Amino acid sequence: MTARVLVVDDVLANVKLLEARLTAEYFDVITASSGFEALEICERGDCDIVLLDVMMPGMDGFEVCRKLKSNPDTLHLPVIMVTSLDQASDRVTGLEAGADDFLTKPIDEVALLARVRSLARFKLVVDELRARATTSSTLGVTTAPPYRPDDGRGGKILLVDDRAHSRDRIVALLGGDYEVEIEANPHEAVLRAGDHEYELVMVSLGLAGFDGLRLCGQLRSLARTRHTPLLMLADIEDRQRILRGLDLGANDYLVRPIDRNETIARVRTQIRHKRYADGLRSNVQAVMELAVVDPLTGLHNRRYLESHLVSLLEQAAQKGRPLSAMFLDIDHFKRVNDGYGHDAGDDVLKSFAARVKHLVRGADLMCRFGGEEFVVVMPDTKLSVARTIGERIRAAVAASPFAIDKGARAIPVTVSIGVAASDCGDTPDALFKRADRALYLSKNSGRNRVTASAA
């Protein structure tokens, strides 16, 4: 995986060294000699990752990082702080400024490439999610999610480690801010990770009798854990295995003996990343739901019905099973809107949808077809049974009036229904036409009745 890496340092020798190492791994490298120049490059969108030296004249790296993370246009850029001072206070200051990672001079090449590759993957995912969110916002489908700064504190962590002293050390470090659950059995760990909403999984590469890298691969391949950050716990001699783990999709690593401040910093960073990406995914999911869900009634809309009905008809034909469709039209609905107002009409539509949905099965597909028209598709249902269900719905709708004006008034409502059964090789259009003809007969015969049309 490649990316455009911005190297920011006022010492030319440091810039050239990092540029050579990253270019050799096929990263595109851009350089800046000051914080002001770096901010301009980032605001233009010319880089994917920022390698930022802490000690610079004019504006130090901490201030540059704070400015990047406070700007909505650059807050998503991963920032790696590079410092020659391996002090706990520097890491804390960088974390508070919003840094995503830390490297200490002299820079270890394995650590450099590991951090850059991991953040490049994160940036790729975030860019795609941001693009979808921005597009939906531009089209007016939904609003872009606001950025809410997160310190990465709190949440559940699964620790997979069979070394008692290692487990105790990590729990002692993280237990004050996180709920740390321990699992020594890697097979059970896969099941637990899939069944619970963990915000981070920490995996020891030194598990007795089991390859920790295989566990990382398994967690990455499962849908439920695909987006859960993985943090490897390695020993100093595990350099090649660390690189392999990062290639498999692990997000980060810690080398034993683990440092308190580094552990906290890396855990917070991964959880912060997950929460930001989850927020973007929620926005994308909301857009998808808006595309197929009627916002007033909460039912699926006509677009979803027309695409889903094709597969239902194919399944019915392949299995030789019956399938019926029911068209429902609220009688004289225009009178409701004209006489009581459109808010009252909306109340009736929502109550009608809820009342009918309560009477159909969970396996049935109920949609708002448009206006005051609704459709119920009933798999494994013969025409005679569908007609009986339609009669039950008709009676329930007419049995009691519908509340409007927040319950201040109630009005009587009736419904006309047309029912049709599918024929082998039916298309959605053919089935709809028969159900629509049956509905027309119900309305033409005085309304508030059910008419069935055989194939």
Please name the fold of domain 145-290: Rossmann fold (3.40.50)
Could you name the CATH architecture of 1-136? 3-Layer(aba) Sandwich (3.40)
Return the DSSP state at 332: T
Torsion, CA 313, CA 317, CA 320, CA 323, rounded to 10 = 20
Answer yes or no: same fold for 145-290 and 302-453. no
Domain segments of the chain as ranges = 1-136, 145-290, 302-453
What is the structure's pLDDT at 132? 62
Helical pair 61-70 and 35-43, crossing angle rounded to 10 deg: 20
Would you place residue 454 in the very low, low, confident or very high pLDDT band (cuts 50, 70, 90)? low
Return the DSSP state at 408: T
Q: What is the pLDDT of residues 16-62, one digit of tens each?
A: 999 999 999 899 999 999 999 999 999 999 999 999 999 898 899 99
pTM: 0.60
Tell whether the model's pLDDT for residue 150 goes beyond 80: no
Q: Which long-range contacts (CB under 8 A, 24 or more apart) does 189-196 make?
A: 189/158, 189/160, 189/215, 190/215, 190/218, 190/219, 190/222, 192/158, 193/158, 193/219, 193/222, 193/224, 193/225, 193/228, 194/222, 194/224, 194/225, 195/224, 196/156, 196/158
Tell whether the model's pLDDT for residue 144 goes beyond 60: no
Rounded Cα gap, residues 238 and 236, in angstroms:
6
What is the structure's pLDDT at 318? 85
Tell whether the model's pLDDT for residue 395 goes beyond 60: yes
CB 218 within 8 A of CB 187: no
Query: Phi, psi (5° rounding) for residue 226?
Result: -60, -35
* Helices within 237-361 (DSSP H only): 239-248, 260-292, 302-319, 333-340, 342-357
CATH no. of 302-453: 3.30.70.270
Specify the 3-state DSSP secondary structure of 83.
strand
Mean pLDDT of all residues belonging to the chain? 88
Place of tokens 């009587």: 412
Rounded Cα gap, residues 77 and 119, in angstroms:
9
Q: Per the residue annotation, which of 37, 372, 373, 391 is the catalytic one?
A: 372
Q: Which residues are paired to 24 by β-bridges? A: none
- Is 183 noted as a catalytic residue in this protein? no
* Cis before 145 (ω within 30): no
What is the structure's pLDDT at 139? 47
What is the structure's pLDDT at 87? 65
Residue range 392-420: average pLDDT? 94
What is the structure's pLDDT at 101? 82
Residue 159 half-sphere exposure toward CB, CA atoms < 13 A: 23
Rounded Cα gap, residues 268 and 1, in angstroms:
24
